[in-house]
Structure 1
Amino acid sequence: MFSKDNDAHNLLRPELVESLYYMYHITGNEMYQDWGWNIFQSFEKYTRQDEGYSSISDVRNKDDVRPRNKMESYFLAETLKYFYLLFNPTNLFPFNQWLFNTEAHPLPIYNN
Protein backbone atom coordinates (compact mmCIF):
# COMPACT_ATOMS: atom_id res chain seq x y z
CA MET A 1 0.00 0.00 0.00
CA PHE A 2 1.23 3.47 -0.76
CA SER A 3 -0.14 6.98 -0.81
CA LYS A 4 0.74 10.03 -2.81
CA ASP A 5 1.49 13.41 -1.28
CA ASN A 6 -1.95 14.83 -2.06
CA ASP A 7 -4.06 11.77 -1.29
CA ALA A 8 -7.08 12.87 0.71
CA HIS A 9 -8.93 9.60 1.17
CA ASN A 10 -9.63 7.70 4.37
CA LEU A 11 -9.57 3.94 3.98
CA LEU A 12 -10.53 3.18 7.61
CA ARG A 13 -7.05 1.74 8.20
CA PRO A 14 -6.14 0.51 11.72
CA GLU A 15 -2.60 1.85 12.13
CA LEU A 16 -3.45 5.16 13.80
CA VAL A 17 -5.88 3.59 16.26
CA GLU A 18 -3.35 0.84 16.95
CA SER A 19 -0.71 3.48 17.73
CA LEU A 20 -3.10 5.31 20.05
CA TYR A 21 -3.80 2.02 21.86
CA TYR A 22 -0.11 1.39 22.47
CA MET A 23 0.62 4.98 23.48
CA TYR A 24 -2.28 5.07 25.92
CA HIS A 25 -1.31 1.81 27.61
CA ILE A 26 2.38 2.73 27.76
CA THR A 27 1.92 6.28 29.09
CA GLY A 28 -1.52 6.22 30.72
CA ASN A 29 -2.14 9.61 29.12
CA GLU A 30 -5.89 9.92 28.43
CA MET A 31 -5.15 12.33 25.59
CA TYR A 32 -4.67 9.24 23.37
CA GLN A 33 -8.14 7.97 24.29
CA ASP A 34 -9.56 11.43 23.57
CA TRP A 35 -7.98 11.44 20.13
CA GLY A 36 -9.30 7.93 19.52
CA TRP A 37 -12.78 8.99 20.57
CA ASN A 38 -12.68 11.92 18.14
CA ILE A 39 -11.67 9.56 15.34
CA PHE A 40 -14.38 7.07 16.28
CA GLN A 41 -17.04 9.80 16.30
CA SER A 42 -15.87 10.99 12.87
CA PHE A 43 -16.08 7.44 11.53
CA GLU A 44 -19.62 7.21 12.88
CA LYS A 45 -20.61 10.57 11.40
CA TYR A 46 -18.91 10.44 8.02
CA THR A 47 -18.30 6.80 7.10
CA ARG A 48 -21.23 4.86 8.54
CA GLN A 49 -23.67 3.58 5.93
CA ASP A 50 -26.87 1.54 6.22
CA GLU A 51 -24.93 -1.63 5.40
CA GLY A 52 -21.73 -0.93 7.37
CA TYR A 53 -18.96 1.60 6.91
CA SER A 54 -17.39 3.02 3.78
CA SER A 55 -14.00 4.48 3.03
CA ILE A 56 -14.28 8.03 1.73
CA SER A 57 -12.58 9.72 -1.17
CA ASP A 58 -11.80 13.15 0.27
CA VAL A 59 -11.54 14.13 3.93
CA ARG A 60 -10.85 17.79 3.21
CA ASN A 61 -14.49 18.86 2.81
CA LYS A 62 -16.78 17.63 5.58
CA ASP A 63 -19.80 19.10 3.78
CA ASP A 64 -19.18 16.97 0.68
CA VAL A 65 -18.28 13.50 1.92
CA ARG A 66 -18.33 10.95 -0.89
CA PRO A 67 -18.39 7.33 0.20
CA ARG A 68 -16.52 4.83 -1.92
CA ASN A 69 -19.05 2.12 -1.02
CA LYS A 70 -16.24 -0.19 -0.02
CA MET A 71 -15.41 -1.52 3.42
CA GLU A 72 -12.24 -3.57 3.67
CA SER A 73 -12.22 -6.55 6.01
CA TYR A 74 -9.42 -5.02 8.09
CA PHE A 75 -11.85 -2.38 9.34
CA LEU A 76 -13.82 -5.00 11.24
CA ALA A 77 -10.88 -7.28 12.00
CA GLU A 78 -8.37 -4.66 13.13
CA THR A 79 -9.59 -1.06 13.33
CA LEU A 80 -12.64 -1.80 15.49
CA LYS A 81 -10.63 -4.25 17.61
CA TYR A 82 -8.10 -1.54 18.45
CA PHE A 83 -10.91 0.90 19.24
CA TYR A 84 -12.33 -1.67 21.66
CA LEU A 85 -8.95 -2.22 23.29
CA LEU A 86 -8.24 1.52 23.49
CA PHE A 87 -11.46 2.21 25.39
CA ASN A 88 -11.53 -0.92 27.55
CA PRO A 89 -11.10 0.16 31.19
CA THR A 90 -8.70 -2.69 31.89
CA ASN A 91 -5.72 -3.79 29.88
CA LEU A 92 -6.99 -7.17 28.68
CA PHE A 93 -3.65 -7.99 27.08
CA PRO A 94 -0.70 -6.90 29.26
CA PHE A 95 2.33 -6.27 27.06
CA ASN A 96 4.52 -8.63 29.07
CA GLN A 97 2.05 -11.49 28.50
CA TRP A 98 0.65 -10.90 24.98
CA LEU A 99 1.65 -9.58 21.59
CA PHE A 100 -0.35 -8.85 18.46
CA ASN A 101 0.49 -10.13 15.00
CA THR A 102 0.10 -7.92 11.94
CA GLU A 103 -3.61 -8.77 11.73
CA ALA A 104 -4.22 -7.74 15.38
CA HIS A 105 -4.66 -11.28 16.65
CA PRO A 106 -3.46 -11.63 20.27
CA LEU A 107 -0.83 -14.28 20.86
CA PRO A 108 0.31 -15.32 24.34
CA ILE A 109 3.96 -15.02 25.29
CA TYR A 110 5.20 -18.19 26.94
CA ASN A 111 8.05 -17.96 29.42
CA ASN A 112 10.27 -20.93 30.19
Structure 2
Amino acid sequence: MPDLDALLWVTRTVENHSVVVRASGELDMLTAPRLSTQLDFAEAVVVPPAPVVLDLTGLTFLGSAGLSVLLNHDKRCKSRGSRLEIVPGGTAVTRPLTVTALDQVLTVKPDLVGGPA
Protein backbone atom coordinates (compact mmCIF):
# COMPACT_ATOMS: atom_id res chain seq x y z
CA MET A 1 0.00 0.00 0.00
CA PRO A 2 1.37 3.45 -0.90
CA ASP A 3 2.51 5.85 1.80
CA LEU A 4 -0.33 8.40 2.01
CA ASP A 5 2.02 10.94 3.60
CA ALA A 6 4.11 10.83 0.44
CA LEU A 7 1.06 11.28 -1.82
CA LEU A 8 -0.87 14.04 -0.02
CA TRP A 9 0.32 16.41 2.67
CA VAL A 10 -2.39 18.38 4.51
CA THR A 11 -2.08 21.10 7.16
CA ARG A 12 -4.69 23.11 9.02
CA THR A 13 -4.29 26.57 10.63
CA VAL A 14 -6.49 29.38 11.90
CA GLU A 15 -5.91 32.72 10.16
CA ASN A 16 -8.05 35.87 10.52
CA HIS A 17 -11.02 33.95 12.02
CA SER A 18 -10.96 31.49 9.10
CA VAL A 19 -9.66 27.95 9.10
CA VAL A 20 -7.16 27.41 6.29
CA VAL A 21 -6.53 23.88 5.03
CA ARG A 22 -3.55 23.48 2.71
CA ALA A 23 -3.09 20.40 0.56
CA SER A 24 -0.04 19.43 -1.50
CA GLY A 25 0.46 16.42 -3.73
CA GLU A 26 -2.12 14.19 -5.40
CA LEU A 27 -5.83 14.30 -4.58
CA ASP A 28 -7.40 11.11 -5.88
CA MET A 29 -9.55 8.22 -4.66
CA LEU A 30 -6.77 7.00 -2.39
CA THR A 31 -6.05 10.35 -0.72
CA ALA A 32 -9.48 12.04 -0.83
CA PRO A 33 -10.56 10.61 2.56
CA ARG A 34 -7.49 12.20 4.15
CA LEU A 35 -8.48 15.67 2.91
CA SER A 36 -12.10 15.06 3.85
CA THR A 37 -11.08 14.29 7.44
CA GLN A 38 -9.11 17.54 7.69
CA LEU A 39 -12.07 19.47 6.27
CA ASP A 40 -14.34 17.80 8.86
CA PHE A 41 -12.11 19.20 11.62
CA ALA A 42 -11.99 22.63 9.98
CA GLU A 43 -15.78 22.78 9.68
CA ALA A 44 -16.13 21.80 13.34
CA VAL A 45 -13.97 24.69 14.60
CA VAL A 46 -14.80 27.53 12.21
CA VAL A 47 -17.29 30.07 13.54
CA PRO A 48 -19.78 31.03 10.81
CA PRO A 49 -19.93 33.16 8.79
CA ALA A 50 -16.13 32.82 8.61
CA PRO A 51 -15.06 30.54 5.77
CA VAL A 52 -13.06 27.38 5.54
CA VAL A 53 -10.33 28.24 3.03
CA LEU A 54 -8.92 25.36 1.02
CA ASP A 55 -5.52 26.16 -0.48
CA LEU A 56 -4.88 23.71 -3.31
CA THR A 57 -1.94 25.58 -4.85
CA GLY A 58 0.35 22.68 -3.97
CA LEU A 59 -1.68 20.00 -5.75
CA THR A 60 -0.13 18.21 -8.70
CA PHE A 61 -3.25 16.15 -9.52
CA LEU A 62 -6.99 16.51 -8.86
CA GLY A 63 -9.15 13.50 -9.70
CA SER A 64 -12.89 12.91 -9.60
CA ALA A 65 -12.82 11.69 -5.99
CA GLY A 66 -11.18 14.97 -5.03
CA LEU A 67 -13.83 16.94 -6.90
CA SER A 68 -16.48 15.01 -4.99
CA VAL A 69 -14.84 15.98 -1.68
CA LEU A 70 -14.93 19.65 -2.73
CA LEU A 71 -18.62 19.47 -3.61
CA ASN A 72 -19.62 17.62 -0.46
CA HIS A 73 -17.77 19.96 1.86
CA ASP A 74 -19.05 23.03 0.01
CA LYS A 75 -22.61 21.84 0.72
CA ARG A 76 -21.77 21.08 4.36
CA CYS A 77 -20.21 24.50 4.92
CA LYS A 78 -23.23 26.25 3.39
CA SER A 79 -25.62 24.22 5.55
CA ARG A 80 -23.73 25.47 8.63
CA GLY A 81 -23.82 29.12 7.58
CA SER A 82 -20.20 29.18 6.44
CA ARG A 83 -18.61 28.72 3.04
CA LEU A 84 -15.76 26.81 1.45
CA GLU A 85 -13.37 29.09 -0.43
CA ILE A 86 -11.05 27.28 -2.82
CA VAL A 87 -7.70 28.68 -3.96
CA PRO A 88 -6.85 26.49 -6.94
CA GLY A 89 -3.36 27.54 -8.01
CA GLY A 90 -2.19 25.96 -11.26
CA THR A 91 -3.75 23.99 -14.08
CA ALA A 92 -3.66 20.71 -12.15
CA VAL A 93 -6.63 22.13 -10.23
CA THR A 94 -8.11 24.80 -12.50
CA ARG A 95 -8.49 22.47 -15.48
CA PRO A 96 -10.68 19.85 -13.71
CA LEU A 97 -12.73 22.64 -12.10
CA THR A 98 -13.29 24.32 -15.47
CA VAL A 99 -13.98 21.15 -17.49
CA THR A 100 -16.62 20.04 -14.97
CA ALA A 101 -18.00 23.60 -14.61
CA LEU A 102 -17.45 23.35 -10.85
CA ASP A 103 -15.66 26.69 -11.04
CA GLN A 104 -19.17 28.10 -11.61
CA VAL A 105 -20.64 26.26 -8.60
CA LEU A 106 -17.90 26.49 -5.98
CA THR A 107 -16.42 29.66 -4.48
CA VAL A 108 -13.04 29.95 -6.20
CA LYS A 109 -10.57 32.65 -5.11
CA PRO A 110 -7.51 33.64 -7.14
CA ASP A 111 -5.10 33.59 -4.18
CA LEU A 112 -4.63 34.05 -0.46
CA VAL A 113 -3.20 37.60 -0.78
CA GLY A 114 -4.43 39.66 2.12
CA GLY A 115 -5.58 36.55 3.97
CA PRO A 116 -8.91 34.79 3.81
CA ALA A 117 -11.97 36.94 3.19
TM-score between the two structures when normalised by the length of structure 2: 0.33
Q: Which entry has the higher C-alpha Rg, 1 or 2?
A: 1
Greater strand content: 2
TM-score between the two structures when normalised by the length of structure 1: 0.34
